[in-house]
Structure 1
């Protein structure tokens, strides 16, 4: 980071790896990422040699039961170190955007760290978003920074976009509901399947589709033994939203090799609503842990708030159809 660049940019951007964007994409966009580091629950030691790509998906697919990775959150000290480093680089303001607290309460650590740093003005934002949903919010934030917007206005805009962004996902069987029952907000517990109901659903071969809404709440909105039917529900939900807000920008997301994604794509090939795909993202290890291997879904936002080209610019996908989470 040069002094000239720091002077031109009115604030720095910090995020966590819950956005599912690659390290290269974030670095190219001059976004500092604090990783949500995974650990092997069985060996109880960090696994750094095969953290990305096919090896991770093979390792997750080979173990049944509860989530195979435990992901200790970055601590207050890690965020404080990042904020102090950005202050030394000459930034007067920082916007720190984080994954929904309904999944992992990263914001509380970032907020505590911000209170310990007086040399820079820090705006900590709980995006109430996950995965590609959070990436769309980050796209707005990066575009506003590059346009010379001040931090206060940019932070307000990012919250506006976060509230308008939606995620519809079909996780691996049981993956998301198990996660919510063990670690989500207490209010969410009533919105997921009970143990007996979950077992019955699995026995029948049914799959569930979940939504992440504007307040970060997660709810099951459909279930079926037929994947095309769930994909159709996703397309109809997007169509309904488009009638309310106008054309959409969307990002498709999947974890590993997913038979779901082509089915969803087929239902999105429609003239029922105006929408443009900005990218296809493969989930990071963190999101893969939450949603399971084989999950797929769509994040979308009004195009009036985030253009597809703005999202492509952040994701480094002007000439490439797909990117991997870091």
Structure 2
């Protein structure tokens, strides 16, 4: 059986060490800040990005990798006859998966492209599962089938501290944002079927932590927790409080905390947090 190599994009929010350990290839997204171009996690780190975004005159703009960038990676990895499994952020949020699909049709390698329907560490859940199964010698078809199960049992919730970036990006009207600001409202949304759906509004981080913890308890009833992760945008203290709340509530100790990709930070603004987990 041919070996399977795993490719993903830079919104995966896995550390360089984890990616190297599992032999996962990353094709980075791009963005511009006040006309200056950057490559996600290659020419700028998430921390550096946050400093530049706060000082920027305009909201940074992100763009997916080009078809050519994917094609180069696929052809290079497939030179030894390996099959390629390319797993990416939700196609509802970015054109990344479509660039990958286009490149797959042009590549000399045998490439299968998967829309994870998620982003950040929730994308990472599928990527890590695929890498482990590939290491065990499983076929592409078997891995894709397992990823469907992981996807079905994954949950992702996002809490925003401010609507400012959504206003700048034209995703929320200024009037609605002003009302939200005056009332100190922090919206909570769920990512389902690749799209964000508003599910609640809270007035404080404490209320957000309580809401997310209760949601987790409800979601995992009679199930086994496989992984839990918290991604934040310049909000480590909030992330740490949520982690402690989860540990106290369900006794699960291995909660990852990561500073998320700039691609997410552009839309959420500082202070946002994402809770994601999957079960069996």
Asked whether the two chains share a fold, i.e. TM above 0.5, the reply is: yes
Task: Trace 1:155-170 onto structure 2 (pairs within 5 A).
Answer: 155-170=144-159
| Residue 14 of structure 2 corresponds to residue 18 of structure 1 | no
| Residue 35 of structure 2 corresponds to residue 35 of structure 1 | no
The CA deviation at 1:245 is 3.2
CA RMSD of aligned residues (A): 2.5
Task: Trace 1:52-131 onto structure 2 (pairs within 5 A).
Answer: 52-63=45-56, 68-91=59-82, 93-117=83-107, 119-131=108-120
The CA deviation at 1:25 is 2.7
The CA deviation at 1:19 is 0.6
Who is 1:230 aligned against? 208
Structure 1 pair 115/33, CA: closer, same or farther in 2 (3 Å)? same
Structure 1 pair 270/96, CA: closer, same or farther in 2 (3 Å)? same
Which of these residues, 183, 203, 219, is aligned with residue 241 of structure 1?
219
- Structure 1 window deviating more from structure 2 (284-293 vs 215-224): it is 284-293
Contact 1:98–1:125 under 8 Å retained in 2 = yes
- Structure 1 window deviating more from structure 2 (12-21 vs 162-171): it is 162-171
TM-score (norm 2): 0.89
| Residue 273 of structure 2 corresponds to residue 300 of structure 1 | no
- Structure 1 window deviating more from structure 2 (127-136 vs 280-289): it is 280-289
The CA deviation at 1:179 is 8.3
Whole-Å separation in 2 of the counterparts to 1:207 and 1:289: 17
Who is 1:207 aligned against? 186
Return the structure number with greater strand share.
2
Who is 2:261 aligned against? 284
Structure 1 pair 177/54, CA: closer, same or farther in 2 (3 Å)? closer
Whole-Å separation in 2 of the counterparts to 1:101 and 1:110: 11
TM-score (norm 1): 0.77
The CA deviation at 1:208 is 1.2
Whole-Å separation in 1 of the counterparts to 2:160 and 2:80: 41
The CA deviation at 1:239 is 0.7
Contact 1:250–1:277 under 8 Å retained in 2 = yes
Whole-Å separation in 2 of the counterparts to 1:175 and 1:103: 19
The CA deviation at 1:59 is 1.7
Count of residues in Structure 1 that have an aligned counterpart in Structure 2: 278
Residue segments in structure 1 that go unaligned for 5+ positions in a row = 1-6, 183-192, 305-326
Whole-Å separation in 2 of the counterparts to 1:152 and 1:196: 49
Query: For residues 29-66 of structure 1, what are the alpha-carbon distances to aligned partners after superposition, in whole Å with 9 as ceiling and x for unaligned?
Result: 211110012211x2x132469611533222223347x6
- Structure 1 window deviating more from structure 2 (228-237 vs 197-206): it is 197-206
